[in-house]
Structure 1
Amino acid sequence: MPRVDYQKQAQDYYGKAPLIILGSGASAAHGMPGMGMLATYLVANTDTSGLSASDILAWDKFCQVLLDGVDLESALHQVAVTEELTSRIITATWTLISFEDIRVFHYSLQNKAMFPLSRLLNHMFKTSLPQINIVTTNYDRLAEYACDQEGVHHYTGFSHGFFRQRAAPDGIKSARRVNIWKVHGSLDWFKSPLEDIVALSNIEGIPANYRPEIVTPGTQKYQTTHLEPYRSTIDNADLAIKAANSFLCIGYGFNDEHIQPNIMAKCIRQNTPITIITYALSNAAKELILDGKAQNYLAIERGEIDEQSFVYSSLDKTRLIVEKNIWSLESYLSLIM
């Protein structure tokens, strides 16, 4: 018998109707590119034609920093890039992520059981919950696809339809709804020629005179997120975090200053329970959760092989080794359902 009944702990935390936090690891499980693949793609595919000499110099420096082994986010902080060069980087980022996003969508059309998140949402809605909140730093639409597969309405800050415009939360009525707060933007958000932000469904390219609204890592990240629709989205995410009775983090690395301060404040000040499931716990997650002041936590990462898990629990400071996969969302569901 293990020292810690991690299954009961997982069930107790889940029973508090957690706010779901999706990080890049949640998408990586479906083959979406991570920071490493994105960095390689950007170096090879960013359009630098017609850039000024200073922009070319900055771009060459940026590429060299990446080649020296610095991660993408750190590289974008180290090298100051202009608005024009940032725009080129955003376009290349959008192109790669969108291509992979559409690939996942087409695959999901043939595979009804593709998204464990669908089953999680369905299970949560078997209670009297009217709404579920998801906070994510991802640009992709995998959370939206998971909702669609389960026949659940979702809201991302816009009206329904193909040409979607900004809409307040109370402007969208449905008996049950998943709110998806995308704090770094989304592949379907664009700045229109009228300079307002719209969301365009079902397109596979950037329309003429429209600009993608996604926030790449780097020095302009925090400047951009003071603008709409990011400001409202982050405000709504903060409200959801402050109201949460529990957190379920899926593939989230705790490397984003927009959302984790409020998460940590809840965990430390109010002892709000937090569950983390991920391929590998980030250094930030270990520092903030395992070595920090969180009182109620359950963190599960992959062990040395897929069919092994490392479990860290606030009930016992010693790492527990479990000889099965409970670190993926698919397998985590077996603990709580």
Structure 2
Amino acid sequence: MTSFLYMFGSEIITDETKAYQGVSLQGVARFFTDTPFVMFATGTSCAVDLGFGMPALEKHLRSSIPTYSLDGKQLAEWGRVLELLADSSDFEASMNSITDSALLNYVVNETATIVASVQNDNAEKILSNADSWTANEIISRLVRKLPQSSPVLHMATPNYDLLAEIAMSASKVPYTTGFWGGVIKSLDWKQSQRQLTYPELVQTGRAKKQPITRRMNHVKLYKVHGSLNVFCKDREVVECDLWQQPPQGYERLLITPGTAKHEKLHDYRDVLLSEYDDAVRAHNRFLFLGFGFNDTQLVNNAITDKLVKDQSDGLIITRDSNSRIEELLSGTKNTWLVCKSEKDDSTRIYNNQFDDWLYIEDKELWRFDHFAKEIMGR
């Protein structure tokens, strides 16, 4: 049996695999002694339905885009996408060929069509059982444990779907996406957070009480690539749950795969990313759920610098590891990876200070609900 060396704080531990396993799980558990910034991606939705994944989107676009009356330029651009897909499995990189604005709009609308369809197939299930969006088991625990002095859990996602919002509503977790108002909501982060306050009388003397304003424990959710219910018109951005299709003059604010998304992201950077950027800078602990690290805009230099240069704490919980995750881990000391074993459904854990992977044969900690119950308790 291999002997391992691991440094935990100022304590050096040398022991066989059982002690090594205990130290590893202790290190992962200690990650939650402070509130992290949570980033979740497609893996959280695919845990509900694989129809949310890139392969399903690719299949839908392959069949739906040719049904439009494409002109010569659009046909050439779409043909180039298909050529690149034939040579590579990288769907997002292949979409870089699209520069035509009308073709891009077709892609946006068809993306919304399939995401909305899969979401509608699963919404009732999540409304009746919030934990069927399994990341909710982790999120709800984090919200419950927020300190009164800092009652906000910051979360970001590139996901277009509303599974997180549906799950939080079902489990009565207050949240804001920055919009406030009636049926058609306007973007105003300050006003949206005022809705999450309540008055309380506190004792200031023997017979005197003074009203103060407290904030509810809540989630501040940054939909950094837009959302199914977000639309834009003349630089105005609104949120409306009733619109299945954009009304006259409006277009969907969805940042689709490929280079074009980064150009559109630039146009709406202040709307989508300014609050997100500020929140990232204010945090030194990051939890990644179902994240493949294939998005250079969302996992930008600010976050990688914190993990690599500043050695901020990080924890990645995902089904499958990949080369991007492992390259990131090679430059960090305080980032953990919890994922599925390559051979079965058991767990493997990695930290750059380890000599090798740790395998836990009898646990499926890469599943968010299993992780929450085993590591975070009630």
Q: Please, what TM-score do these two structures have when normalized by structure 2? A: 0.82
Report 1:94-133 matches (<5 A).
Answer: 94-124=112-142, 125-128=144-147, 129-133=150-154
Q: Give the Å deviation of 1:309.
A: 1.1
Q: Give the Å deviation of 1:211.
A: 1.8
Does the CA-based 8 Å contact 1:117-1:146 persist in structure 2?
no
Does the CA-based 8 Å contact 2:180-2:187 persist in structure 1?
yes
AA aligned opposite 1:144: E
Q: Which of 233, 247, 257 is residue 296 of structure 2 equivalent to? A: 257
Q: Which of 24, 32, 36 is residue 55 of structure 2 equivalent to? A: 36
AA aligned opposite 1:213: L
Q: Which of 256, 281, 287 is residue 321 of structure 2 equivalent to? A: 281
Q: Give the Å deviation of 1:6.
A: 2.3
AA aligned opposite 1:99: S
Q: Give the Å deviation of 1:208.
A: 4.7
Q: Which of 74, 86, 90 is residue 55 of structure 1 equivalent to? A: 74
Which residue in 2 is equivalent to 1:26? 44
Which residue in 2 is equivalent to 1:326? 365
Q: Is 1:165 matched with 2:186?
A: yes
Q: Which of 264, 270, 278 is residue 239 of structure 1 equivalent to? A: 278
Which residue in 2 is equivalent to 1:189? 230
Q: Give the Å deviation of 1:156.
A: 1.3
Structure 1, residues 307-331: CA drift from partner, whole Å, max 9, x if none? 3111102341311111120111111
Structure 1, residues 3-41: CA drift from partner, whole Å, max 9, x if none? 142221121111111111101111110114211111111
Which residue in 2 is equivalent to 1:227? 267
Q: Distance in 2 between matches of 1:109 and 1:40?
A: 28
Q: Tell me: CA distance 1:198–1:306, structure 2 relative to 1, closer, same or farther (3 Å).
A: farther
Q: Distance in 2 between matches of 1:316 and 1:70?
A: 32
Does the CA-based 8 Å contact 1:102-1:204 persist in structure 2?
no
Q: Is 1:336 matched with 2:376?
A: yes
Q: Which of 308, 311, 316 is residue 268 of structure 1 equivalent to? A: 308
Which residue in 2 is equivalent to 1:71? 90
Q: Distance in 2 between matches of 1:82 and 1:2?
A: 58
Does the CA-based 8 Å contact 1:28-1:34 persist in structure 2?
yes
AA aligned opposite 1:313: N
Q: Tell me: CA distance 1:59–1:146, structure 2 relative to 1, closer, same or farther (3 Å).
A: same
Structure holding more strand per residue: 2
Q: Is 1:140 matched with 2:161?
A: yes
Q: Tell me: CA distance 1:312–1:167, structure 2 relative to 1, closer, same or farther (3 Å).
A: same
AA aligned opposite 2:173: V
CA-based RMSD? 2.0
Same amino acid, percent of matched pairs: 23
AA aligned opposite 1:17: T
Does the CA-based 8 Å contact 1:311-1:319 persist in structure 2?
yes
Q: Distance in 2 between matches of 1:146 and 1:160?
A: 21
Q: Is 1:84 matched with 2:102?
A: yes
SS of the equivalent of 1:3 reads: helix
Which fold has the larger relative contact order, with Cα–Cα distance below 8 Å and residues 6 or more apart in sequence? 1
Which residue in 1 is equivalent to 2:204? none
Q: Distance in 2 between matches of 1:200 and 1:283?
A: 39
Unaligned runs of 5+ in 1: none
Q: Distance in 1 between matches of 2:186 and 2:278?
A: 22
Q: Tell me: CA distance 1:186–1:45, structure 2 relative to 1, closer, same or farther (3 Å).
A: same
Q: Tell me: CA distance 1:161–1:286, structure 2 relative to 1, closer, same or farther (3 Å).
A: farther
Q: Tell me: CA distance 1:2–1:24, structure 2 relative to 1, closer, same or farther (3 Å).
A: farther
Q: Tell me: CA distance 1:233–1:169, structure 2 relative to 1, closer, same or farther (3 Å).
A: farther
Q: Higher Cα Rg: structure 1 or 2? A: 2
Q: Distance in 2 between matches of 1:117 and 1:20?
A: 11
Does the CA-based 8 Å contact 2:364-2:370 persist in structure 1?
yes
Does the CA-based 8 Å contact 2:127-2:166 persist in structure 1?
no
SS of the equivalent of 1:262 reads: helix
Q: Tell me: CA distance 1:49–1:117, structure 2 relative to 1, closer, same or farther (3 Å).
A: closer
Give runs of ≥4 in structure 1 deviating > 6 Å: none
Q: Give the Å deviation of 1:306.
A: 5.3
Q: What number of residue pairs does the alignment pair up?
A: 332
